[in-house]
Amino acid sequence: MMTKSLYLLGAVLSLTIANAFAADSTITISGYVRDNACAVAGESKDFTVDLMDNAAKQFNTIGATTPVVPFRIVLSPCGSSVTAVKVGFTGVADNDNTSLLKLDSGASAAAGMGCRFSMVSRRCCR
């Protein structure tokens, strides 16, 4: 019985000692800061994209889309080392398809539809 108690005591002390060693360890974190920030240019802030009038019969199947309505988002100034940018849109997800943004509700709002943005031009960083 005494032997089993000593083994158990040894195991507990080992765990305690391991924790003590962990408290004395050093963690080094390194990184690199790049000059790659961009800002949205003044002409690309607070604007409206007119999706035009579309007939309901255009949307007779799941995945049907409107004609492409191009718009630009100008990023300037950008750092000298920028080689790519990532643009995202946020909003409330559609209830039926969470990969789409939900349309505003109201008496005249379209039902059974959501909004998706697609990249037409991938021109970047001139």
Distance CA 7, CA 20 (A): 20
The distance between the two most distant Cα atoms of the chain, rounded to a whole number of Å, is 87
Is the pLDDT higher at 53 or at 119? 53
Task: Tell me the average pLDDT across 40-53.
Answer: 86
What are 102-123's pLDDT values in tens digits? 888 888 888 888 888 877 666 6
Q: What pLDDT does 63 receive?
A: 86
| Number of helical (H) and strand (E) elements in the chain, helices listed first | 1, 4
- Tell which residue, 49, 119, 42, has the closest CA to residue 87: 119
Q: What pLDDT does 93 receive?
A: 92
What are 1-31's pLDDT values in tens digits? 444 444 444 444 444 444 444 445 555 566 6
